[in-house]
């Protein structure tokens, strides 16, 4: 599992650091959670207006986190799902005489809303619906829409390095560990939901979380050494 590889790399480099030294599993799990979220935030909206779908490789990675759910509109409002993290797109479902049709919705900023609502040419309709982002959901226009299909980036599962204790030392346990996994209340481990190519990023960021700066050459050497050990 990637989470075990990153844990071993972090410990290997931290143990050589005169200031930090050993990092506990609890400290590692806490840092791993924030670092995975940081990766998503950094890659969700790069310079291109296309965001995370700017290139195929980024789109492939984010496909793991993308979900689409139908949400009933209540008084012109839809509530964000509990695992909602970032907006992707939305479609309105509209009933016509020949059946149900779906039309893309436009996410507009607050300063654009009044102009759109007052427009005689570009006024929101079921064919050209809009929505605005709120804290816990979206305002939908026109308000007579009944159903919205919301596509979004979900919050990833928390990486969780679980372990048993052998001779006083924590030893990785993919299943049957001693701690309770916050994702499902099991005693198993949960892997990072990122590709193995992100191991250098994850390791570097977690070490930085503990105030350890590591040169790329040292980091990649540690990764190569760990790969040889696994073989």
Domains of the chain: 2-46+156-230 (no CATH), 66-154 (2.40.30)
pLDDT single digits (tens) 126-167: 889 999 999 999 999 999 999 999 999 999 999 999 999 999
Quote the pLDDT of residue 50. 54
Quote the pLDDT of residue 67. 94
Quote the pLDDT of residue 17. 62
**Which percentage of the chain shows pLDDT scores above 90?**
65
Give the closest residue to 2 by CA, choosing from 218, 187, 194: 194
Quote the pLDDT of residue 37. 94
Q: Indicate whether 59 pLDDT > 80.
A: no
Give the closest residue to 91 by CA, choosing from 169, 147, 47, 42: 147
Q: pLDDT-derived band of residue 79, with 50, 70 and 90 as boundaries?
A: very high
| Listed range (101-105, 144-148, 213-217) with the worst mean pLDDT | 213-217
Quote the pLDDT of residue 19. 58
Which helix (H) or strand (E) segment is 123 a member of?
none
Q: Indicate whether 54 pLDDT > 70.
A: no
Quote the pLDDT of residue 47. 46
Quote the pLDDT of residue 42. 85
The pair phi, psi for residue 218, each rounded to 5°, is -70, -40
């Amino acid at each position: 599992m990637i989470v075990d590889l990153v844990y071993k790399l972090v410990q290997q480099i931290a143990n050589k650091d005169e200031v930090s030294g050993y990092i506990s599993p609890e400290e590692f799990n806490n840092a791993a959670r924030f670092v995975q979220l940081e990766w998503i935030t950094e890659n969700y909206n790069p310079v291109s207006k296309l965001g995370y779908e700017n290139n195929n490789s980024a789109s492939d990675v984010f496909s793991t986190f993308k979900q689409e759910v139908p949400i009933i509109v209540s008084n012109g409002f839809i509530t964000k799902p509990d695992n909602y993290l970032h907006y992707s797109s939305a479609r309105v479902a509209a009933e016509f005489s020949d059946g149900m049709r779906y039309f893309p919705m436009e996410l507009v900023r607050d300063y654009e809303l009044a102009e759109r609502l007052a427009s005689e040419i570009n006024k929101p309709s079921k064919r050209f619906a809009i929505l605005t982002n709120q804290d816990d959901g979206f305002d939908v226009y026109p308000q007579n829409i009944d159903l919205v299909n919301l596509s979004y980036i979900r919050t990833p599962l928390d990486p969780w390095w679980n372990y048993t204790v052998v001779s006083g030392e924590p030893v990785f346990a993919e299943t049957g560990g001693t701690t309770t996994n916050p994702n499902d209340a099991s005693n198993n481990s949960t892997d990072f939901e990122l590709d193995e190519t992100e191991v250098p990023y994850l390791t570097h960021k977690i070490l930085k979380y503990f105030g350890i700066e590591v040169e790329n050459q040292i980091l990649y050497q540690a990764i190569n050494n760990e790969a040889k050990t696994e073989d």
